[in-house]
Amino acid sequence: MNVFSTAILIVFCSLLGSAFSDTCLECLAINSTVCEGTEVECLGNAGCMTASQIYKHGDKNYKSLYRSCANTTFCGNFASMTQDPNVTIRTYVSCCEGDNCNTNPFYIPTENSTLNGLKCPSAYCEDTTGPCDGDLKMMECRGSETQCINYGGHVQDPNKYQNDYSVQSCINPLGCRLNFKCLIAVEEIKNVRLECSEGVKA
């Protein structure tokens, strides 16, 4: 699922509306964990953030990093989706207070790999946004991935490659709620279908 792989650059914009301001480092590293930022002023005194992402799609493995002013909606959040064996997405956002404090390195928490007793339909199709039922099977979900996602859309990956995708898989609730808003360098060009439901007992 090129499908999750995240909003064109994750636009984690600064919060507005306060007379106070911090300075933070801002940069975007696509398919790299090295991101040397330039100093920007952030209105709202909300602090700074670093967002890390692993996006696996077939034999491609992208690690990307984004630094900027903090959006507290995302601070401390971990989004996770697994469509076995084609697509895996993990995104984590850490926040800090103090001028230019967001120098921390690339970091993704280790996802709990223990089976959680739930399962979801699993399917992956390219070149279509319609139902992907041909190779449909049930997969057992792990860790925090307690929901099922059914997605179809036109997506651009970190290499600027665009295609139609249809995916069903396990996902954690936060990943389903934030979807492309929490992703780095993956742009949803067109959303045809995005449905989430609770996993069923295995």
For residue range 48-94, what is the model confidence (pLDDT) as tens digits? 999 999 988 888 888 999 999 998 888 999 999 998 878 889 999 99
Residues 153, 190 contacting (CB under 8 angstroms): yes
Q: Where are the alpha helices (DSSP H) in 22-172?
A: none
Question: Domain for residue 53, yes or no?
Answer: no
Q: How much is the pLDDT for 111?
A: 81
Look at residue 164 and tell me if it is in a domain. yes
Round to whole Å and give the CA distance between 57 and 185.
14
166 phi and psi angles, rounded to 5 deg = -135, 125
Element (H, E) at 64: strand 60-69
Q: Is residue 172 part of a domain?
A: yes
Residue 84: inside a domain, yes or no? no
Per-residue CA distances from 23 to 49, 51, 73, 85 (Å): 11, 17, 19, 41
Range of the domain at 182: 115-201
| Single-letter amino acid, residue 53 | Q
Q: In the chain, which residues have pLDDT < 50?
A: 1-20
The overall pTM is greater than 0.85:
no
Q: What is the pLDDT of residue 132?
A: 82
Plot region of 9 (φ>0 → left; ψ -120 to 50 → alpha; else → beta): alpha
Contact of 186 with 57, CB cutoff 8 Å:
no
What are residue 48's DSSP bridge partners?
69, 96
Q: How many domains does the chain have?
A: 1
φ, ψ of residue 125 to 5 degrees: the values are -135, 140
The pLDDT score that the predictor gives to residue 81 is 93
Please report whether residue 70 resides in a domain: no
Examine residue 168 and state whether it is found in any structural domain, yes or no. yes
Answer yes or no: is 15 within a domain: no
Cα 33 to Cα 53: distance, rounded to the nearest angstrom: 9
Residue 129, in any domain of the structure? yes
Rounded Cα–Cα distance for residues 184 and 146 (Å): 23
